[in-house]
Amino acid sequence: MTIKVGDTMPTGSFGIMTKDGPGSMSTQDLFSKKKVAIFSVPGAFTPTCSMEHLPGFKNKASSLKEKGIDTIVCMAVNDVFVMDAWGKDRGVGDEMLMLADGNGEYAKALGLELDVSKFGLGMRGQRFSMVINDGVVEQLNVDPEGFKLSSAECMLNQL
């Protein structure tokens, strides 16, 4: 079943690069008592994700925080090393967390997995964005094709 507005986020964990190497972040630590903007991309270093989606959230980070967002998260079905390298390549710094859903388990728990095997990419996460308030979905935008609904601009307009 696909997650929807009003639902509680499923329990899980993400990979995150720490100063000591690969680590883990639980959904409890991520969402508890915080307003979180999370966006998911089908893959790090892919054209739309690298040139539009991630930079949109990086460039709008201060505006999102002015509207009450505590944490901005970029999530993808990639490993923690790829997410860390992509964040460094795109210069995200402390603007957002780069979280790895290495095996796509969280995308599947959300009901937002994407089979792109026909392109040699296997199972990924759909392109989407959400606003989560203390673990509850307040806003959900899924792009069925292309890139528009899950943009930082769209999120800002809905806050």
Residue positions annotated with a catalytic role: 49
Q: How far apart are CA 50 and CA 44, in angstroms?
A: 7
**Which 3-state string (H, E, C) describes the chain?**
CCCCCCCECCCCEEEEEECCEEEEEEHHHHHCCCEEEEEEECCCCCHHHHHHHHHHHHHCHHHHHHCCCCEEEEEECCCHHHHHHHHHHHCCCCCCEEEECCCCHHHHHHCCEEECHHHCCCEEECCEEEEEECCEEEEEEECCCCCCCCCHHHHHHHC
84 vs 68: CA distance, rounded Å: 26
Which tokens go with 24? 């883990």
